[in-house]
């Protein structure tokens, strides 16, 4: 099957969040199996700086908002089916960040990602590829299924091409003023409630949901939750209409990349057969974070500092958690108000709460490898990768039962023979505190806690199974176009 993965970010090239891990790992899994899959990405500054790319000698011109913008195609290698093609258009992508700076989103994001969505199709034409599947990811690629159906279908290359659209997070939809319609390459005829109009705004995600052949989200539970008004962010009605085309496929993580027995980022390696390296990582983490009382249980948090992640719950319970004898290490960046809130706690609980604003791969992995617990009290969580990494490195997840967290973490007290973490339901500080205190009870019993760590580490959330499911989904999508 000839597959094109259209993504606004993917590891190892460019990353701001989990979508990059998923796009990169899925591609890698497909290619390891010999599938003909190629990723298409914008050529961001960071890609240009850090990777050796090859000229393909092919280019195209796209007219948007009345002016013509050229795109040049670069390749990750010289084979006819390379791992990745990159769309060079310096005026749009050669910037330090992907989507915007601390001051806000780039003002021309509608143009940037409308261009990208067309550029993926133009790349197929220029490289003479007839894809069976174009797999789109999140709002940045939302217009692609629309362009395909309304403008590109008549090209022979796309006569049988099916589109799959993956929702990684419904909370980010790519909403723009309707005055951007022309810049986005759309016509007024598209600006209706059954197409891209959304409360008098232009909605890129909605285009993807309306025009793609099949839709999926990144866990089975989230695929159910998005049909409810409280999680649908205004698109639940549309998703309900497309319910028979909506699937849930849980993400995996790259087990070769994230492997405590060979990870070059952590100070000592370990495995279920010998956890002494984990104890060493724990001591290093305690030292580096400047935590006092080495024996206190350490809870880690790594993630975007956004309201989705349940930071107000952490804020409302942190005094009590520290009072219960816990130490915390937090790594992340994001909304100013959470950075301030957490900085305040780190000041007030010096030696017990350590905060690093930013993102640093090495420290992230040390937190997974050295914490006893890993907190994810998310308000909602389409899949969540942190809990999967925590399991892999033996940090026991404490999570709220939502989205992918509900699908991957089983509560130890509810099911002592299968449990791999601690789970709570209600979005409230007392529910979080209760789950943590159950964890601390077990922590006091060193032998039983160690058994749980081993169980966490033996869980299997590698990509094999999920990649199989994607291939089945692709087959279904193809069937729809053919049939
Ligand atoms: C988004 C979601 C996260 C998911 C990731 C990859 O970042 O918030 O839950 O794991 O996408 O699909």
CATH level 3 topology of 2-252+464-482:
Rossmann fold (3.40.50)
Report CA Rg, the chain. 23
81 touches 102 (CB < 8 A):
no
Q: Compute, in angstroms, the gap from residue 169 CA to the centroid of ligand 1.
A: 6
Q: Both tokens of residue 12?
A: 């190892």
Looking from the CA of residue 251, the nearest atom of ligand 1 is 12
Residue nearest to atom 3 of ligand 1 (CA): 384
Q: Which atom of ligand 1 is nearest to the CA of 378?
A: 9
The answer to whether residues 382 and 218 touch, using CB atoms and an 8 Å cutoff, is yes
DSSP 88-145: E-HHHH-SSSSSEETTEE-TTHHHHHHHHHHHHHHHHHHTT---SEEEEESGGGTHHH
Distance 302 CA to ligand 1 centre (A): 13
pLDDT of residue 67: 86
pLDDT at 273: 96
Distance 170 CA to ligand 1 centre (A): 10
Q: What is the pLDDT along the chain (483 residues), one digit of tens a residue?
A: 999 999 999 999 999 999 999 999 999 999 999 999 999 999 999 999 999 999 999 999 999 988 899 999 999 999 999 999 999 999 999 999 999 987 889 999 999 999 999 999 999 999 999 999 999 999 999 999 999 999 999 999 999 999 999 999 999 999 999 999 999 999 999 999 999 999 999 999 999 999 999 999 999 999 999 999 999 999 999 999 999 999 999 999 999 999 999 999 999 999 999 999 999 999 999 999 999 999 999 999 999 999 999 999 999 999 999 999 999 999 999 889 999 999 999 999 999 999 999 989 999 999 999 999 999 999 999 999 999 999 999 999 999 999 999 999 999 999 999 999 999 999 999 999 999 999 999 999 999 999 999 999 999 999 999 999 999 999 999 999 987
Measured in angstroms, how far is the CA atom of residue 382 from the centroid of ligand 1?
6
Rounded to the nearest angstrom, the distance between the alpha carbon of 24 and the centre of ligand 1 is 13
User: What six digits make up the tokens of 45?
Assistant: 């500054």
Cis ω for the linkage preceding 12 (within 30 of 0): yes
Closest residue CA from atom 7 of ligand 1: 18
Query: Atom of ligand 1 at shortest distance to CA of 218?
Result: 12
Residue 359's pLDDT is what?
A: 86
The structural domains of the chain, with segments of one domain joined by +, span 2-252+464-482, 276-461
Atom of ligand 1 nearest to the CA of 19: 6
| Closest ligand 1 atom number to CA of residue 308 | 8
Ligand 1 atom closest to Cα of residue 171: 8
Provide residues with CB under 6 Å of ligand 1: 17-19, 22, 168-169, 218, 251, 381-385, 404
Q: In CATH terms, is domain 276-461 a member of 3.40.50.2000? A: yes
Residue 482's pLDDT is 87
Do residues 364 and 302 make contact, with C-beta atoms less than 8 angstroms apart?
Answer: yes
Phi, psi of 473 (to 5 degrees): -65, -40
Q: Which atom of ligand 1 is nearest to the CA of 138?
A: 11
Predicted TM-score (pTM) of this structure = 0.96
Phi, psi angles (nearest 5°) of residue 374: -130, 120
* 154 CA to centre of ligand 1 in angstroms: 34
Closest CA to 295 of 309, 276, 310, 279: 279
219 half-sphere exposure, CB direction, 13 A CA radius? 24
Specify the residue with its C-alpha closest to ligand 1, atom 5. Answer: 18
* Ligand 1, pocket-test mutation among 136, 218, 307, most atoms within 8 A of CB: 218
382, 400, 470: which to mutate for ligand 1, most atoms within 8 A of CB?
382
Give pLDDT, residue 66: 85
Determine the residue of 380, 383, 408 to mutate for testing ligand 1's pocket, defined as the one with the most ligand atoms within 8 A of the Cβ atom.
383
Token pair of 229, please?
Answer: 């008004």
Q: How far is the CA of 159 from the centre of ligand 1 (A)?
A: 32
Which residue is associated with the tokens 């989103």? 105
Atom nearest to 404 CA in ligand 1:
9
Q: What is the whole-number distance in angstroms between the Cα of residue 67 and the centre of ligand 1?
A: 35
Helix (H, G, I), strand (E, B) or coil at 464: helix
Report CA-CA distances (Å) from 89 to 45, 140, 297, 359, 463: 11, 16, 50, 27, 33
Cα(351) to centroid(ligand 1), Å:
32
Distance 198 CA to ligand 1 centre (A): 23
Domain 2-252+464-482 shares a fold with domain 276-461: yes
The rounded Å distance from CA 72 to ligand 1 centre is 30
Q: What is the DSSP string of 326-368?
A: -EEEEEE-B-HHHHHHHHHHHHHTTTTEEEEES--HHHHHHHH
């Amino acid at each position: 099957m000839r597959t094109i993965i259209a993504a606004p970010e993917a590891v190892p090239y460019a990353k701001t969040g989990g979508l990059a891990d998923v796009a990169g790992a899925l591609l890698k899994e497909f290619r390891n199996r010999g599938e003909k899959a190629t990723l298409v990405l914008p050529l961001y500054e960071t890609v240009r700086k850090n990777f050796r790319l090859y000229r393909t000698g092919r280019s195209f011109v796209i007219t948007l908002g009345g002016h013509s913008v050229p795109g040049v195609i670069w390749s990750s290698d010289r084979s006819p089916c390379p791992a990745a093609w990159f769309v060079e258009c310096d005026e749009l992508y050669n910037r330090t960040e992907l989507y915007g700076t601390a001051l806000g989103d780039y003002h021309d994001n509608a143009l940037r990602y409308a261009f990208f969505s067309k550029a993926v199709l133009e790349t197929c034409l220029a490289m003479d590829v007839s894809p069976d599947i174009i797999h789109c990811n999140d709002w940045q690629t939302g217009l692609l299924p629309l362009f395909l159906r309304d403008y590109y279908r008549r090209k022979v290359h796309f006569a049988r091409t099916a589109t799959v659209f993956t929702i990684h997070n419904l909370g980010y939809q790519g909403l723009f003023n309707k005055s951007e319609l022309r810049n986005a390459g759309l016509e007024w005829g598209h600006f209706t409630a059954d197409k891209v109009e959304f409360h008098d705004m232009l909605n890129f995600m909605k285009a993807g949901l309306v025009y793609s052949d099949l839709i999926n989200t990144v866990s089975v539970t989230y695929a159910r939750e998005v049909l409810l008004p409280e999680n649908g962010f205004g698109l639940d009605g549309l998703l309900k209409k497309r319910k028979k085309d909506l699937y849930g496929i849980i993400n995996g993580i790259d087990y070769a990349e994230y492997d405590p027995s060979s990870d070059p980022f952590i100070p000592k390696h370990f495995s279920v057969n010998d956890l002494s390296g984990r104890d060493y990582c724990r001591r290093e983490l305690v030292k580096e974070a400047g935590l006092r009382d080495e024996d206190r249980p350490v809870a880690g948090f790594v993630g975007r500092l956004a309201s989705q992640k349940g930071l107000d719950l952490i804020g409302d319970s942190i005094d009590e958690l520290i009072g219960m004898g816990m130490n915390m290490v937090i790594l992340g960046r994001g909304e100013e108000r959470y950075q301030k809130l957490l900085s305040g706690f780190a000041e007030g609980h010096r030696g017990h709460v350590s905060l690093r604003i930013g993102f640093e791969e090495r420290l992230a992995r040390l937190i997974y490898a050295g914490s006893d617990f890993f907190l994810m009290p998310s308000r909602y969580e389409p899949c969540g990768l942190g809990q999967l990494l925590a399991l892999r490195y033996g940090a026991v997840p404490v999570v709220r039962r939502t989205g992918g967290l509900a699908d991957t973490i089983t509560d130890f007290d509810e099911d002592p023979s299968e449990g791999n973490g601690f789970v709570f339901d209600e979005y409230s500080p007392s529910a979080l505190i209760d789950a943590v205190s159950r964890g601390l009870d077990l922590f006091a019993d060193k032998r039983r806690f160690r058994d749980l760590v081993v169980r966490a580490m033996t869980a299997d959330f590698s990509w094999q199974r999920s990649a199989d499911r994607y291939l089945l989904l692709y087959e279904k999508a193809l069937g729809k176009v053919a049939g």
